Structure 1
Amino acid sequence: MSLLPKLLAGLTPPPINVPEEYDGLEFRWKALTFRPAYFEKEAALLAVLLFYVAVWWFGSSRNKRAATKWLDVYYPTYEKQFSRTVTKHGPLTADGYTDYFSYCTGRRNIASLHTVFTFRPRHDLFQYVFQMGRQLMDLQYRPRDDLQLDFTLAPGVLAHDFVFAIVTKEELASIKDNRWDLTLTKATENPNIPATYSVMSEFADITDGVLKVLGPLINDEKIRPYFRSLSITDQPRDRPSRPLDPEEREKHVVLNVVMPSASHMKDLQTFVDGLFTFIDSLSKVHLRPETKSKLKKIREGLDKDLKADAEKDKKEEVEQALQDRKAAKKKAEEERIAKLSASEQRKIWKKRRKGRCVVLKVEWFRSKEEGGR
């Protein structure tokens, strides 16, 4: 029992040393006295915490307001084009505090439209400061608020399978790292588009056919400060792990832009309206028979490569599973032997050594016979 008082004494914090004379600021209420000078560290920690909470609140609110503002401006367009649209001020699906989504469906030639907002992490002070520091060190790194309009085309709208994109030249260095489908294309210049853009296409007549349908829409001056890429694709943007079944194949028209500020939201209005007319006219894109044949061979080659990779991955998984089972069986056997007596363990190790010697002799005779031949 004598150890308990000593243990409690060791755990008890030392008393606060309050000097008898105190001439600083203090607040008194009946028997209670508060002297701020004794809580300078706590006050500093509280100030840091409140600052972090304020940054989180203002940052997350700003991102949500920007997404809501877009829906406020473009709601009439969505309502006009689709039978099932977002409602005013929603529904806006959030994934954390940087990613927001909206969905529309029910239109001829367009199966669905996903509006995807990707904002900078203004709610997270440390991530935001990291981005600013990296931007100073890496000139190719440009964090920004992104907006993507992903149109899933209805079956039969685009008769041909191809990949085509118009991309700003500053995006060329990195876009293929994020878009597997665009690795099928080659980047070229074209006099029919602004000099700051490049064409990424599989064949020249694809470019001619799409630009003929796209017309002057791509030369809209208001969109240039925000434009990043406009693509038409029959392939997934991420490399699939296996060949896709026919019912899984989709064709998309994808617009990527930098999110405009609240005062410039309407700058994209003409371009967004024109995209619906452009999609309705995609059936007018005609290709030469030899181009169609080449595109078909390319798709067959892709499916063959994907199938080979899938089989290889499956084989590696099976081999790994066999190795894991062997390792588990060996471990269980070793644990079983470890529980036996010393004499029984010696018998088992002796038997194993004899087995190894027999195997070595068989291999030696086999190699000798092969050498004699």
Structure 2
Amino acid sequence: MADFVKGLFGGQQPAKVAIPGDDDFADYAGAPEPTPAAISSYTDAAHLAQPTGALTARPYTAWYRVWERTSPEDFKLEMYILPFLFVLILVHVWGTRANRSKAKAWSKAHAPLLQQEFAQVGFREGEATSDDILREKKADEYSTYATGRQNVAFIDFKITLIKRFNPFMLLGEYLIPLFFESIPAPAERVEATAYVFDGNEAKHAPQYGSGDAKKVSNSSFDGFVFAIVHKDIMKRMREDRYDISLTTTRDHAKLPVWTAVMSESAEITDMMLTPELIKAIHDAGDSFEALIVTDQPIDQPKTLDDTKPKKRINLSLKLESTYTATLPLFQLFLRLPDHLATAAHFRPEALRRIKQTRDEQISKIRKLDDDEKAEERKVAADKQKRELRDQKLGRLSAEEQRKFLEKERERDSKKKMKRSTVKG
């Protein structure tokens, strides 16, 4: 037994004699011979006979089996958010299509009339269908364009719709005007602005200078500001637009009671209120918002260039489900430049007050401009004087600089005393 224990723990063994000349391998001389590892007792035939493909198979784990490691309770937040997002997407798609269909309905009703009056309607050259004349700038804003007509350089159309595609913004636009009177409630409208030639056909359209241009009558007319507006927006128009602030507001017996006339002269009012226009406004009803003829800017002019007359005609109408009532007024608006080129030539007495108002504004701007230039000249002169003073002071000695600064302080104190004496 003792021999067995000694053999197991490497008991004393007789030392082997090292082979001469083999010193490098002396450390391995006493190493025991390697023996094969014993087979474990749990190794059975099933493990030994395991096929090769089973060695590369993924072991069972719940990492990729979502249904085993999760439950519906883990997706409560998603179950609340996803239906909400789905509803928002549906509302956005529905609102966008509803706005698009409403804009196309307007173009379908007005495209024949525009194509009858203008050579080009829409942004594409050549004849376009009613679906092609509109351009979608935003989901709630569409625009189109018309040109190629006598007395009119071009007309811009802007269709503004409510934000059906965004219920939160739409709700805010309806709630905010309830608390702030200066913010108008949202409304669907079409705004048209006609820019007249005013005798500048050769400048805007060179083809008028040759061929049949001699047969075209002169399109120039006297500048003035005239407007017929709905009383619901009369106050806001006067506050927001500079040109409307130049007029005098009156009611007119021939017009509906819910409208007001803003004009610079009674003679201008009589010229503008033709029987056709009065009837068209009556037929339009509450769909009518404003008809404006102006040669002044919308914003307060700040430079002399802003006071140059730029004659325009504006029409604002509410969008309705049908356009039968507003089509006569729309057609009259398209042909209004012809009436102005023919009849808008007034007596000098009627234009004297209009010219006086323009001259007063020009004189105010010129005075402000002269004051600004005088201030700039004064600043430049003071700067030059300081530079000369600094140059002179730099050439003096220390004692001379002290005397110079003392004299300068004495002069400043005398000036201050003189100013206080004069004020007293």
* TM-score normalised over the length of structure 2: 0.64
Counterpart CA distance in 2 for 1:50 and 1:311 is 63
Counterpart CA distance in 2 for 1:56 and 1:310 is 51
| Paired amino acid for 2:285 | R
* 2:83 is the alignment partner of 1:47: yes
- The secondary structure found in structure 2 opposite 1:187 is strand
Give CA deviations for 1:248-302 in whole Å, capped at 9, x if unaligned: 64211111111122xx133322221222333312221342321112222222222
* 2:157 is the alignment partner of 1:96: no
> Contact between 1:227 and 1:258, CA under 8 Å: does it hold in 2?
yes
* Bigger Cα displacement from structure 2, 209-218 vs 165-174: 209-218
* 2:238 is the alignment partner of 1:176: yes
> Contact between 2:281 and 2:329, CA under 8 Å: does it hold in 1?
no
State how 1:28-43 maps to structure 2 within 5 Å. Answer: 31-33=65-67, 35-43=71-79
Shift of 1:81: 0.6
Q: CA RMSD in A?
A: 3.5
Relative distance call for 1:49 and 1:59 in structure 2 (3 A) is same
Alignment partner, residue 364 of structure 1? 413
Give CA deviations for 1:182-207 in whole Å, capped at 9, x if unaligned: 00001101112112111000111111
Relative distance call for 1:307 and 1:119 in structure 2 (3 A) is farther
Shift of 1:181: 0.7
Give CA deviations for 1:145-173 in whole Å, capped at 9, x if unaligned: 12111111121435111100011111112
> Contact between 2:223 and 2:309, CA under 8 Å: does it hold in 1?
no
* Residue number among 216, 230, 254 corresponding to 2:291 in the alignment: 230
Q: Which runs of 5+ in 2 are unaligned?
A: 1-63, 123-127, 200-218, 384-401
Q: Which runs of 5+ in 1 are unaligned?
A: 1-29, 326-352
> Contact between 2:233 and 2:289, CA under 8 Å: does it hold in 1?
yes
Relative distance call for 1:109 and 1:369 in structure 2 (3 A) is closer
Alignment partner, residue 266 of structure 1? 324
Counterpart CA distance in 1 for 2:405 and 2:142 is 64
Alignment partner, residue 12 of structure 1? none
Alignment partner, residue 18 of structure 1? none
> Contact between 2:109 and 2:323, CA under 8 Å: does it hold in 1?
yes
Alignment partner, residue 165 of structure 2? 123
> Contact between 1:68 and 1:90, CA under 8 Å: does it hold in 2?
no
* 2:195 is the alignment partner of 1:152: yes
| Paired amino acid for 1:114 | D
* Residue number among 336, 340, 346 corresponding to 1:287 in the alignment: 346
- The secondary structure found in structure 2 opposite 1:114 is strand
Counterpart CA distance in 1 for 2:82 and 2:135 is 33
Counterpart CA distance in 1 for 2:98 and 2:148 is 31
* Bigger Cα displacement from structure 2, 185-194 vs 293-302: 293-302
* Residue number among 280, 290, 299 corresponding to 2:358 in the alignment: 299
* 2:186 is the alignment partner of 1:143: yes
Relative distance call for 1:202 and 1:369 in structure 2 (3 A) is closer
Larger Rg: 2
Counterpart CA distance in 1 for 2:148 and 2:368 is 37
> Contact between 1:180 and 1:239, CA under 8 Å: does it hold in 2?
yes
Counterpart CA distance in 1 for 2:181 and 2:415 is 65
- The secondary structure found in structure 2 opposite 1:225 is helix
Counterpart CA distance in 1 for 2:300 and 2:191 is 20
> Contact between 1:228 and 1:257, CA under 8 Å: does it hold in 2?
yes
> Contact between 2:92 and 2:166, CA under 8 Å: does it hold in 1?
yes
| Paired amino acid for 1:171 | I
Relative distance call for 1:371 and 1:99 in structure 2 (3 A) is closer
Identity, % of aligned positions:
23
> Contact between 2:255 and 2:282, CA under 8 Å: does it hold in 1?
no
Aligned length: 311
Give CA deviations for 1:232-251 in whole Å, capped at 9, x if unaligned: 111122223312379x6421
Counterpart CA distance in 2 for 1:193 and 1:107 is 30
Alignment partner, residue 108 of structure 2? 72
Shift of 1:50: 2.8
| Paired amino acid for 1:270 | P
State how 1:187-202 maps to structure 2 within 5 Å. Answer: 187-202=249-264
Relative distance call for 1:366 and 1:245 in structure 2 (3 A) is closer
- The secondary structure found in structure 2 opposite 1:281 is helix
Counterpart CA distance in 1 for 2:420 and 2:235 is 58
> Contact between 1:162 and 1:202, CA under 8 Å: does it hold in 2?
yes
Relative distance call for 1:372 and 1:69 in structure 2 (3 A) is closer
Alignment partner, residue 312 of structure 2? 252
Relative distance call for 1:310 and 1:128 in structure 2 (3 A) is farther
> Contact between 1:92 and 1:100, CA under 8 Å: does it hold in 2?
yes
Relative distance call for 1:96 and 1:355 in structure 2 (3 A) is farther
Relative distance call for 1:361 and 1:253 in structure 2 (3 A) is same
Alignment partner, residue 267 of structure 2? 205
